[in-house]
């Protein structure tokens, strides 16, 4: 018990960094994903090809490979210098953005075409229709799925430990390397992840009820 009590402050520091990476990656991933979702739905063939290629390539690449490529690969270039934290955020952002792009595309395409035609018939141009008619409804429908993606991204951050980011998993590994108490520490780490995921799941349920997402 004393070991667990002594380890809690270090694990909490790991939780803070895990949440930081998760939030930063989701915010950046949303904007990157939005860009490639727009490309994916574009009528311009080259943009559509770029969007589709990015989404398919990133979704088909393991996050671990992205981590190694960005941290170990890019850092071999003379003009690139990424510390483990920023490399981890870059990798998780890239990985999550491909999935977020499909969430955004699905949300936008779920809006009935009749509403778009009605908006255009009353004088709204394409951009105004997207901003005032399509996106408000699409965002509401995307929220539960986006929260689910947040849960996946949070768990994905554990892989950042392989490049030395001292998030929750890495903090646990450091404690275990010092104490050799794997049996006691890993369940505590699992409990922290469970609590974070449980809270996000409750948020998802609240959002679905609050906004009556269908």
Between CA 100 and CA 33 the distance in angstroms is 5
Residue ranges of alpha helices (H) inside the chain are 2-41, 45-59, 63-68, 84-109, 113-121, 126-129, 135-156, 168-179, 182-211
Residue 153 structural domain: 2-211
Read off the CATH number of the domain in which 165 is found. Answer: 1.10.3720.10
Query: Directed axis angle between helix 2-41 and helix 45-59, to 10°?
Result: 160
pLDDT at 24: 97
Region 52-58 average pLDDT: 96
Q: What is the pLDDT of residues 71-118, one digit of tens each?
A: 999 988 888 888 999 999 999 999 999 999 999 998 888 887 777 777
For position 135, what pLDDT does the model report?
A: 80
Q: What is the CA radius of gyration of the chain?
A: 21
CB atoms within 10 A of CB 120: 14
> Which pLDDT band holds residue 211 (cuts at 50, 70, 90)?
low
Number of domains forming the structure of the chain: 1
User: Mean of the pLDDT values across residues 12-26?
Assistant: 96
CA 49 to CA 39: how far, in whole Å?
8
Q: Is the pLDDT of residue 157 over 70?
A: yes
What is the spatial distance between Cα 142 and Cα 107, in angstroms, rounded to a whole number? Answer: 6
Percent of the chain past pLDDT 90, that is, above it, reads 62
pTM: 0.90
Q: Span 177-196, mean pLDDT?
A: 93
Identify the weakest region by mean pLDDT among 120-124, 137-141, 171-175. 120-124
């Amino acid at each position: 018990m004393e070991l667990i009590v002594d380890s809690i402050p270090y694990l909490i520091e790991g939780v803070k960094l895990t949440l930081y990476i998760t939030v930063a990656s989701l915010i950046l991933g949303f904007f990157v994903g939005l860009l490639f979702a727009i490309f994916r739905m574009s009528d311009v063939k080259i943009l559509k090809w770029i969007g589709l290629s990015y989404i398919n390539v990133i979704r088909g690449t393991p996050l671990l490979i992205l981590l190694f490529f960005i941290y170990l690969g890019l850092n071999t270039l003379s003009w690139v210098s990424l510390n483990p934290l920023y490399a981890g955020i870059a990798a998780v952002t890239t990985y999550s953005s491909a999935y977020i792009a499909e969430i955004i595309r699905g949300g936008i395409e779920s809006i009935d075409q009749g509403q778009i035609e009605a908006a255009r018939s009353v004088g709204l141009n394409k951009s105004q229709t997207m901003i005032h008619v399509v996106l408000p409804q699409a965002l509401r429908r995307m929220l539960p799925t986006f929260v689910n993606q947040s849960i996946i991204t949070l768990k994905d951050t554990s892989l950042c430990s392989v490049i030395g980011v001292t998030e929750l998993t890495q903090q646990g590994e450091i404690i275990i390397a010092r104490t050799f108490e794997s049996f006691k520490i890993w369940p505590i780490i699992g409990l922290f992840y469970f609590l974070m995921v449980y809270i996000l799941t409750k948020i998802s349920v609240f959002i679905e009820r609050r906004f009556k997402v269908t």
